[in-house]
Every structure is written in structure tokens, then in C-alpha cells.
Structure 1
């Protein structure tokens, strides 16, 4: 008897939700296609974030962990101890030096004995979200393993709020050292001359940091031969680059959200956000450090787009400087863009993918310029219709054309260079 009132209530609630959504809606750039799916994905992510905040207010724990745990169910592949899919790709969960990893091995083929490629993959998610078991990461790793005949190791590093910097980096470094060991490479039949590291967003940050560390570590007999960085986040000093200004209110990843993720990762107070928006820290940098993030020099004019630098030059600030409050801002393990040219010169050849409608676009472009300046071979791929997370949208309900295209471009580059 209550069916009709219940349906009516549900319809009213749905209508109010739609009305509320469109009251907040800002048109996306016309270059972005299949906008309905992107907006729906953004709504779902906002819902789980909001749900987490409600539960945190009720005393059930940190909202990020709650949002992460609650959002895993619909789009997550359950972790197998060992499985072989219909195409013959073997997937297993194990640990490298105590760090959980998911290992993908390509289907067996005739004439066994030929060494395989190897790839260490590090997922994104702002050092707070994501897992190798997420549908999009699981799909990408399976496809990479099959298409390239590669052993792919996807790292399940520890994240915020359980840990802070440098735990994620140290987990990935431990897994990398283990994978690159002669014993483990031999166990999986991987060619030590064809091992790469790749990652997206925060995973691109960790990948770039690992590439620098391994390249300069004389104790490592096997080095990464390539690095593939997908819209990497590489610095936390200037949140007013042209891409941060242009895309400050973009869906999925806004400027404010990126600052929040950085502050969480570096174990800093979220109330510091206005000081970062004002680029207060620029006044604290030496000329040499400023040059490493100076987009007026490191970006081509087409990417500067007429924006002006935001620099707080006044030193009359009586409060503690940001570098005193957060000294890790200058740690190259957190901000690989700040590495010295001598370090960059030792890094492997690189693939850097950027997207026009992404706050992180200029981080990747500046890093590519600095790598080239140090003598490293760099391939850049810029998607004029791309946005943050598009690389992960190559499968499932949220599959987008730009997602398929960007993933395939990445595979082609690895196929030609790894």
C-alpha cells in the first residue's frame, strides 16, 4: 500500500537532486566530449566525499577513509590470490619487501625462454585514494601485460589518512628495489635492460621521484630504462601556473582540492590553503629554486595563454614562513620538479602525457622542458580535449573516447621504447 507514496517520494528526491546539481553546474569546455558521463562521474565522487564527511561528523572516522572504503565496492575487482583470465593473463597478489603488490604476467606463448618486459606501475589518487584492484587500474595493467608481453607490478602503497609523506614514496621505493633485483627479475623472466616505471597523477609524482632515486643510486645494478608519467603532480610551490588559473574550478580535480591533497600528504594544516593561493612561498625561494618552477621561462607561449605570475614579494609577513612550517615542500622526493639538473641528466628517457583541461598540465610540461634541458630524451603527448583522470576511463560504464585514445598512445610509446 505504501508503494505509490514511496515512489513519489523517490521521484521528488531525484528531482531535487537534479535541480541542485544544475544550480551548481558550470558548463564544461566545448572541446570535452561525452560530457554527461564526466559530470555523472564527478557527481558520484562528490556524493561519496560528502557521505564520508557526514559519517566523520557522526564520529565514524576520517571522511577520506570512509569515502574510499564506501566507493570501492561498485568499481573494484576483488583481489585474487592467483587467477588466470580468459586470455591467459595470470594475476596474483604478493608482497615485495613487505609492500603489497599485484603482479600481472602475460599469457604463455610458443617458444618459451624469451625474456619479457617489466613495468612497475603506481596508481594515482592524491596519495589518499585508489588501489591496484580498482577496475580501471586492473584493466590497464592487464592490457599492458597482454599487449606488451610484460610483467606488470602494480604497487598497493600506504596512503593518507593512515600515513603521511614519505611513507608512500618509501613503500614504492622498497617495491622498486625488490623488483629490480637480479633474483626477482629472473624469477619472472624479465629482461633487466627493459624495465620501466609508470604512474598517473600522484602515481606520476611517485614514479618521477623513483626514477630520480634509482638513476642516482650507484648500488643499484639494474636501472629503469624508461619512465612514463601521466598528468603527474610535481610541485607544491606555485598554484597559479596558467593551468591552475585556467582550470581552477574544473570537475574531478580543482585547484582547491589539489592544495588540500598536498597539505594532507605533507601533514600540514588545511587552514594554510589561502597562503598557497597567494603564492606566498615564492618570496621565500632562492633565485635558483625559483628558476626550477618559473613557468614564464619553462612554458611555451601557447601554454602561458596571457596569464600573469602571482608572486607575493613582500617580506613584511610577521608569521612563520611556509618553508618553516612545511620544510618538506622542498624535498625532491615530494616535488621532483625541484631536482638539480645533474640528477635529471641521469634519468631514463621519458614519456609525459598532459591534458589541456587539467590543473596539473603545466607541472608535466615544465618537467619535460627541464628533462630535455638536462639531455634526456622526452616524448610529450598533449590531449587538447583531455582532463584529469581521462587516462583511467578506457573501460567500463565510464569509458570515454579520450580515455581509450590516451591509453592506446601510452601503450604505443611503451611498445616502441621499453
Structure 2
């Protein structure tokens, strides 16, 4: 019996090692590491480990043992965040939505600023246990059990609950900031289309969007070409997460990438907000590829047409909705496939008179914010992003 267990253990070890070797090989075959990134070896190691976890999850899903998203979330939630002795941390629910409240231990007679933070993770990663960057953190419903619009609804409902009960949390109604990173930034843009229209609620003082996705239509933007193979958000991973969340079959990926799902009349209407021309020339490639729409595929369009809603592509919101948005802080990173989403949204807001502050990190990459407090796994760009966001919020 002992020998049988030894054989099984050896087989399992060999299998796990094989998967890890495969992940490392795939990393070096398919990934591009921009020269501007510091600590490239550390960056490669972290991505190899991430790819290893995703591959194991994919194998478990194919064997029908456990879905890949559930496996990834289990490992992610096992991470332990460091405790801050100056804070009181409370896990609670706003209705059915799990939230984590961070409050200073020091008692103050004055009402405090409130920060609502929607974590990133592409509906796959991210959790209350692994995030520690704010005063009030919301965990939204994720894959594999939930699809659009669950994420946006959770964020909206939890935010409304918080805004209706500010006094009980000791928060000044005139100093509430809505903040989100990656898919959380997308949720901020989505929620802020609705909150100003609810007159009974305190108005949000400012919104902070860190590397948000605001366009799921035009994939020919410069950053989509320049950073499509740059971790931690490659084009393949972005499509896998978003298509799963939006219930779009991945077989339509090529049609979406080439613009075959874009009707000519819609392109003429929205090109002024989505086009390559809205990106400052310094971000263009040395040899820019012109935007070119492949022949229209009506079947593909019908399967993907919901991406044209402002709920999914917030940059398409009507002028009157954009114009009522509060002052905004946008963060972009040079080596990020979503860099140009930030630039599109920046121009969209500025054209409607919304006060916009913008911070660009030349050596940054997607997801660097979540590594800022991870000690040896942190990067200088992670600290830059956190410091920029904190400085902006303190100064408003």
C-alpha cells in the first residue's frame, strides 16, 4: 500500500513538474517583455507562475474536476494580506454583496473621506482577501457562476447602500470617491453613468479609474498591437475573460479583432470616439498600421452586438451622461494593452468639459497596482501608481 502511494505521489510530482515546464516554454515562446520594464527576471518568474496556475486550472476543467476560474480563485483567496495596526477591518454584507470596510482605529470627531474601491482581476482574479488598497472594498460576483451584468449590478447596489448610510460609517457625504482598477475601473465608468441620475443620493466627489477597459469594440488601437503579448494582460487572456463574462463564444474572436463585427453605419457614428486618430501621435508605432475593417459578418455581429451598449463600452455613453460626470483621475501604463482605452476616455471626458487629471507610468504594466505591497514581488511602478492615486485623492 505504501509503495502504491509513493508511485501516485511520484506520478503527481512528475505531472506538476511537466505542467510547469510547459508553462515556462509557453512564456518564452509567446510573451514579449518590453525593454522599459525593470526587473525583467522577476517579471518573468511571476508570469510563469501565473501561467502555471492557469494551465493547471484549465486541465482540471477539461477533466471536469473543477472549473478553471474556481481553481484560480481558490488559490488567489489563499493569499494572506499584511495587517495594518492602524486600521480596523470589518467583513460585512451590503444585502447579499460581500464587502470589507477599512476604518482608522484613531477616533475622530470629524467625518472622514470615504473611498469605494472595485478590485480588478478580469472577473477571474481579485478578492477581498488579496486586495488591500482602500477604505471600502467591494467583492463582486465573478466567473464561472455569474455573467454580465452581475458585476455592474453588484457594484451599483453596494455603492447605493453605502451612500445611503454614510453617517453610520462616519463618512462626509461631500467627500466620497469612487475608485477601481482594470475591470473595476470599467465598473466605475459603468456605475457613474447611473449614480448622478439618482437625486436622493450624495454626489460622488471624484472618480479614479486605474487602467480601465472602456472599449470592447476597436482592437486595432496602437496599444492593442504593441502590447498584445505583454503580461499580465495579454490579448488572449483579455478575450478569454471578457468573452466568458459577456457570454460570447470565443470562435468569434478573429471577427472581433479584424472589425468584421462592426457595421459601417455604426463605425461612421462612433468613429469619432473609438478611432486610432484620438490617440496622441507619440503613442503610435513607428510604422502605424491603418485601421481597416474586414468584410462585415452579420452572423458575428448578431452574436456580439451587445458590446455596443454603453454598459459594456462606457466610452459610447451619450454626451449628456458624460458631461455630468465628476472630476476624474485616470491612470495609464505604457506597457498595457488597455493604455489607449484610457486615452480614448480621457479625450471623451475632456470634450464634454469634465475636469480630468491623467497620470502615465512609462515603466508600468497591467496589474502592477496589485503588487505594490507584495515586498519582493513589488515593482517601482506599483508604488508610483499608489502614490499618484493617494496624492490626487488627498488634494481634491
CA distance in 1, matches of 2:392, 2:288: 32
2:323 is aligned with 1:311: no
CA distance in 1, matches of 2:39, 2:200: 46
- The CA deviation at 1:287 is 2.0
Q: Which residue of 2 aligns with 1:144?
A: none
**Conserved 8 A contact 2:34-2:230:** no
**Conserved 8 A contact 1:260-1:273:** no
Kindly tell me: are residues 19 and 256 of structure 1, through their superposed partners in 2, closer, same or farther at Cα, counting changes over 3 Å? closer
Q: Which residue of 2 aligns with 1:233?
A: 213
2:98 is aligned with 1:100: yes
Q: Which residue of 2 aligns with 1:187?
A: 168
- The CA deviation at 1:321 is 4.2
What SS class does the counterpart of residue 261 from structure 2 fall into?
A: helix
What SS class does the counterpart of residue 198 from structure 1 fall into?
A: strand
Equivalent of residue 161 in structure 1, options 129, 144, 155: 144
CA distance in 2, matches of 1:200, 1:120: 12
- The CA deviation at 1:299 is 1.3
**Bigger CA drift: 352-361 or 32-41?**
32-41
What SS class does the counterpart of residue 93 from structure 1 fall into?
A: strand
What SS class does the counterpart of residue 35 from structure 2 fall into?
A: coil
**Conserved 8 A contact 1:253-1:358:** yes
Residues 262-299 of structure 1: per-residue CA shift (max 9 Å, x gap):
21111111111111121212335252222221131x21
Kindly tell me: are residues 51 and 95 of structure 1, through their superposed partners in 2, closer, same or farther at Cα, counting changes over 3 Å? same
Equivalent of residue 258 in structure 1, options 233, 238, 258: 238
Equivalent of residue 48 in structure 1, options 36, 43, 53: 53
Q: Which residue of 1 aligns with 2:225?
A: 245
5 Å-filtered alignment, 1:18-417, equals 20=25, 23-24=28-29, 26=31, 28-73=33-78, 75-77=79-81, 87-109=85-107, 112-134=108-130, 137-138=131-132, 140-141=133-134, 152-181=135-164, 184-215=165-196, 217-284=197-264, 285-296=266-277, 298-305=278-285, 306-312=287-293, 314-315=295-296, 317=297, 319-322=298-301, 324-396=302-374, 397-417=376-396
Extract unaligned runs of 5+ from structure 2: none
What SS class does the counterpart of residue 192 from structure 2 fall into?
A: helix
Residues 210-265 of structure 1: per-residue CA shift (max 9 Å, x gap):
112112x1433312110000000111101111000011111211112212222111
CA distance in 1, matches of 2:172, 2:24: 56
- The CA deviation at 1:331 is 1.9
- The CA deviation at 1:52 is 0.6
Residues 126-163 of structure 1: per-residue CA shift (max 9 Å, x gap):
122210210xx22x22xxxxxxxxxx221111011111
- The CA deviation at 1:102 is 0.5
Residues 81-117 of structure 1: per-residue CA shift (max 9 Å, x gap):
xxxx5533010011113211100012314xx311100
| TM-score (ref. length: structure 2) | 0.90
Residues 367-410 of structure 1: per-residue CA shift (max 9 Å, x gap):
01110111010011111111101122211231111111111111
What SS class does the counterpart of residue 207 from structure 1 fall into?
A: helix
**Bigger CA drift: 350-359 or 50-59?**
50-59
Kindly tell me: are residues 153 and 414 of structure 1, through their superposed partners in 2, closer, same or farther at Cα, counting changes over 3 Å? same
Kindly tell me: are residues 114 and 274 of structure 1, through their superposed partners in 2, closer, same or farther at Cα, counting changes over 3 Å? same
Kindly tell me: are residues 256 and 94 of structure 1, through their superposed partners in 2, closer, same or farther at Cα, counting changes over 3 Å? same
CA distance in 2, matches of 1:22, 1:276: 25
| TM-score (ref. length: structure 1) | 0.85
**Conserved 8 A contact 2:23-2:52:** no
- The CA deviation at 1:71 is 3.7
**Conserved 8 A contact 2:255-2:300:** no
Q: What number of residue pairs does the alignment pair up?
A: 382
What SS class does the counterpart of residue 333 from structure 1 fall into?
A: coil
What SS class does the counterpart of residue 274 from structure 1 fall into?
A: helix
**Bigger CA drift: 63-72 or 40-49?**
63-72
What SS class does the counterpart of residue 131 from structure 1 fall into?
A: coil
Kindly tell me: are residues 274 and 413 of structure 1, through their superposed partners in 2, closer, same or farther at Cα, counting changes over 3 Å? same
**Conserved 8 A contact 1:368-1:378:** yes
